[in-house]
Amino acid sequence: MVDIIRTADVRGEVPRIEGTRVAVLDVYELVVDGGHDPADVADQLDLSLAAVYTALAYYYEHPDEMETVRAGREADEEALESKSLSPPGELIE
């Protein structure tokens, strides 16, 4: 059986697949937002297909929590972009 867990010392306590660093939101973004086949995502991330479907089920069963996780990720990305010394998309040499 595949479990979804949260631990303070791994990935900032976001829900993830037990025994991995793969977050539920990572799986959702690849399958739903990215349009990738669940079997391909399982193969790419070295997961069982059951783990992919468990992560997707968790996402849909906990919409408020997942929205909070998504908002936190977007805030982190914005903070990193604002600290960047170069314009977005420009490589630093």
Q: Domains, the chain, ranges and CATH?
A: 4-83 (1.10.10.10)
pTM score of the predicted model? 0.81
- Which residue from 73, 67, 55 is spatially nearest to 18, judged by alpha carbons? 55
What integer pLDDT is reported at residue 77 of this predicted model?
A: 83
**Backbone φ and ψ of 78, nearest 5°:** -65, -40
With a pLDDT cut of 70, the percent of the chain lying above it is: 89
Per-position pLDDT tens, the chain of length 93: 899 999 988 888 999 999 999 999 999 999 999 999 999 999 999 999 999 999 999 999 999 999 999 999 888 888 887 776 556 566 555
- Cα distances (angstroms) measured from residue 47 to each of 40, 43, 50: 10, 6, 8
Q: What is the pLDDT of residue 75?
A: 87
pLDDT at position 85: 56
Q: pLDDT at position 41, please?
A: 98
Q: Is 16 helix (H, G, I), strand (E, B) or coil?
A: strand
